[in-house]
Amino acid sequence: MNAIDDHYDVVIVGAGVGGGAMANRLAAGGARVLMIERGNYLPREADNWSVKAVFHDRKYTARETWRDKDGKPFHPSTFYYVGGNSKFFGAATVRFRKEDFEVLEHEDGIAPAWPWSYDEFAPYYDEAERLMGTHGTAGADPIEPPRSGPFPYPTIGHEPEMEAIAEKLRGKGLRPFPLPIAIDRQPGGACIRCATCDGFACKLGAKNDAEVRLIRPAIATNRVHLVLDTKVLRLLTDGPGKRITGIEVEQGGQIRTIGGDLFISSAGAINSAVLLLRSANDRHKGGIGNNGSDLLGRNYMAHNNTAMMAIHPFRKNNVTFQKSMAINDYYLANSHRPYPLGNVQGLGKLQGGMLTANMKIIPEWMMSLFAKRSVDWWIMSEDLPDRNNRVLLDPDGTVRIQYTPNNEKAHNELVRQWGRVMRSIGYPLIITQRMDITVSMHQCGTAVFGRDPATSVLDPFCKVWDVDNLYVVDASFLPSSTGFNPSLTIVAQAVRVAEHLLGNTLRAAA
């Protein structure tokens, strides 16, 4: 078994965006941290950029089987590596809107208010953008919330094909803007602006994922010990159930317990919920954190997502890096509809085999032909918290995702409207693919934070209400999914929580 001491200041479960940001900030503040990752480093190799390896063979996807609400098994698109799901994210790092922190009415329901306002949260977005190395242009987004200054790095700009699209969209009265994106594109940076960023791992280390921007710098402080290929089985409490005394792990068939002053679960919204549920004991019969609210594992959200190919039969699209543009004209109530619809952003350039991996009715040769002539989009709408959408453990220990989509009217209308826009600027053939339950990249909401323990699992600093030294810092805390990629907000909350711990809990323990 890898050398692990018996006790640490902080023990973090999971080396993704949340865990990486926590380790980074806590180490910078002088804490001695253990990070536990169930996977290993993802190798940089030719298959990182192979459509066949990534989408057909699913070479890097977790070898797990979960069940849906009907008990049907499925293989989730989740990744167990240092960096977590961010190894395959599209690097979009977008702030939530000011309105997202308030009660927001949708056509099919209400997105609840957060315990923090945007104005309170904004300084942590500043630091999160710095940590992630975000490129963007302040003020370009027509509904951008207030910010204190420019992005850390300037926008990467559009290639000529996408700039021509932007001009046509502006001619239709829309306001496209540069998508804030975290890649190593500054002078001397490693990014070569390839077509295999969104949905692929980067074999150059040029995508600013959690490993590159958060974890490796944290390890370089010599205050963070990262242990790999180690699965956390459960959390152990003292007799009254008020403190975590240790964490039980399995590595190479051996089981041991590790102690610490503070424990942070950052395993992702699904696996953090699973860990707390699996840690049930006499004092926490429904799982640790499942206080009187009975909300642990509930309110699972993952967005309504559709990939769209807009095809011009006789015009090739020679763009390489397509994920440079976004449109927020429909994000809030708008002239087209009096309710929020969602966000549209460029999708990494589709290749023929990417969609045929799940769309068998169209032959790959035809999809390849279409892909050479398409402009591709990711259309994302908010799904709303529903306590019946939840993460469960079946009696045999298998993860069950009990999920029924909601707020679909808004999403379907946004897909239809964007198809109309594409046809109006010269792309008559539209192909869409709705993402299903297997796509768990934007998972959130299973341990929501709030100011009242009766209606939340975590307090405003992500501490489990009824346990003194346990925090959950990943997308579990989100009380609403909003219509944006959650990575930047997870980092911002981690910065805030780390600041709180360094100024209070850890200082008191020292």
What are the tens digits of pLDDT across the range 371-411?
Answer: 899 999 999 999 999 999 999 999 999 999 999 999 999 99
> So what's the pLDDT on residue 357?
47
Structure tokens at 424: 């109006």
Mean pLDDT of the chain: 94
Express each pLDDT in 274-326 by its tens digit.
999 999 999 999 999 998 889 999 999 999 999 999 999 988 999 999 999 99
pLDDT digits (tens, 9 = 90+) for 227-265: 999 999 999 999 999 999 999 999 999 999 999 999 999
**pLDDT band at 1, cuts 50/70/90?**
very low
Return the closest-CA partner of residue 260 out of 461, 441, 470.
470
Average pLDDT, integer, range 474-495: 98
H or E element that contains 269:
helix 269-278
Residue 310, classed as helix, strand or coil, is strand
Contacts 24+ apart (CB under 8 A), 250-258: 251/1, 251/2, 251/227, 252/1, 254/1, 256/1, 256/4, 258/4, 258/5, 258/6, 258/7, 258/8, 258/11, 258/34, 258/36
Please give the average per-residue pLDDT across 123-137, as a whole number.
98
Triad 402, 406, 409: Cα angle to 5°: 155
- Local structure of 353: helix, strand or coil: helix
pLDDT at 208: 98
| 15 within 8 A of 226, measured Cβ to Cβ | yes
Give Cα 272 distance to the centre of its chain: 14
Identify the residue with better confidence: 440 or 274: 274
